[in-house]
Amino acid sequence: MNLRVLPVVALVLVAVASSWLLWRLYQREEPASLVGPPRSDYALTNFDLIALDDEGRESFRVTGPMLSRHPFLGTLDIEQPRFRFPDADGQPWNAQSARAWAAADGKELRLVGEVAFDGPPREGGGRIELRTPQLTIFPDAREVKSDALVNIVSPGATLRGRGLYANLDTRRFQLLSEVRADYAPSSRR
């Protein structure tokens, strides 16, 4: 091979190497694209929402300062929600928390942060008052559950435990562990 070609080949190689290097560096400098919650496709402020079940009856109502809908999943993120759930007799159970997540079909609600869940007032006075850091509510089935510590005050009985499963219609509350209960005779209420 003719020796005079060598310098040309070397120059071509150097040019290719430096442009490849430049391309690589450019790649690395490109700022990482912002990975965060996708923008909601809509957000409501000071809203009042009524969700209906499959038969068109009110499943739950929720009001609050801010609601945003996930663009792909259709789930809702709600700040400082105030919920109302009618039980089988149409009596309202009320719930509020710091935040809540609602499934796209509205069949599951997860309340998080200082959850207060109160039953309707009873004829004899008083009502069931439940406090917990986290509560999952299934509105149509009118069932609630929690994995956290739960404190339940009801007329004449205070129950506390970890892990809850409850049915609002039957007023049946199952506490799964670490149970403490205190029954006060009506003579002292």
Q: Which residues bind other proteins (CB under 8 A)?
A: 122, 124, 128, 152, 154-157, 159, 161, 170-189
Distance of closest approach, residue 188 Cβ to other proteins, in angstroms: 6
Distance of closest approach, residue 58 Cβ to other proteins, in angstroms: 24
Kindly state the greatest CA–CA separation across the chain.
115
Nearer to other proteins, 39 or 122 (CB): 122
Please give the Cα distance from 143 to 76 (Å, whole number). Answer: 20
The token duo for 125 is 């006075």
The token duo for 113 is 């942060």
Nearer to other proteins, 7 or 185 (CB): 185
Cβ atoms of residues 106 and 117 within 8 Å = no
Distance of closest approach, residue 104 Cβ to other proteins, in angstroms: 32
Cβ atoms of residues 127 and 120 within 8 Å = yes
Nearer to other proteins, 39 or 180 (CB): 180
Cβ atoms of residues 122 and 101 within 8 Å = no
Radius of gyration of the chain (CA): 29
Distance of closest approach, residue 49 Cβ to other proteins, in angstroms: 29
Nearer to other proteins, 86 or 161 (CB): 161
